[in-house]
Amino acid sequence: MSVTCLQSRVVASIELSVDECLAIGYRKSDLSCLQCEELIKFELFSLKDSCLKCCSKDSGDESVKKYSSARLEVCG
């Protein structure tokens, strides 16, 4: 059983390239590993492994969120 556990951890730790992540629906630059861990709350276990292969390790304060772009619409 420990061998199986070790193998699954090794497979999950292999990172995918930016293009590979985009191909499966993840934007690597915006994906936090904490978001991947949240998938467990919704029983999305099958997505967690691929998510962890594309996420960025969280190193900073989660209260500060940076976005890659924004769109401002002025109505009136």
> What is the chain's alpha carbon radius of gyration, rounded to the nearest angstrom?
16
**Over the stretch 40-64, which tens digit does the pLDDT of each residue have?**
999 999 999 999 999 988 655 456 6
Cβ neighbour number for residue 52 with a 10 Å cutoff: 19
What is the model's pLDDT at position 4?
43
Residues 6+ apart with CB under 8 A from 15: 53, 54
Percentage of the residues of the chain whose pLDDT score is greater than 90: 46
- Delimit the domains of the chain by residue range: 10-54
Overall pTM > 0.75: no
From the list 28, 68, 17, 73, the residue with the least C-alpha distance to 51 is: 28
